[in-house]
Structure 1
Amino acid sequence: MGQTPGAVILDVRTAAEVRSGAIKGAINIDLMSADFQQKINQLDKTKTYFVYCRSGHRSGQACRIMGNVGFEHIYNLTGGMMSWPY
């Protein structure tokens, strides 16, 4: 992440999960919210996104959804918050 200037860190957990701790500078768009698709469609598709959740499962789903709507530079932080220091 540090080697990708302008990259966006995207947290797809719930607001309650985010309150328990998050990666500094991450933006939160809850994968399970009814407007997830609408919100990601407002993001810049030319940027690089590092996507995470608690364990890596929801972030994997989010990456597939984002890829299906035209995002090309998306990376799932495998293992989620349970594996990454913040």
Structure 2
Amino acid sequence: MMIRKNIDIVETLMPDEAVVVDVRNKMFYTLNSSARVLWGLLGKKPKQLRFLTEQYRKELGIDGSIAARDVRKCIRELCKRKLIVTQPCHDCC
């Protein structure tokens, strides 16, 4: 699965919190610490799920199974708010 930021989202990163704005509906969202790390890892280009999970694990220094669970949970929440877009990268995804 490939994951990327929604192009309609503008980010405002402050030292102590991350706020993103959906310019279509003028909604503001504050990201929790896990989502903030994942958001930062996404960067400008689409990323594969396994790459994001590994980078997340390294960033936080946690076990792989915990990282995988956290990343899946964050992705579900960010998708629900339409802040990110997911798409299959192969027929198997």
Q: Confirm or deny a common fold (TM above 0.5).
A: no
Q: In proportion to residue count, which structure has more strand?
A: 2
- More helix as a share of residues: 2
TM-score, L = length of structure 2: 0.30
TM-score, normalising length: structure 1: 0.32
Bigger CA radius of gyration: 2
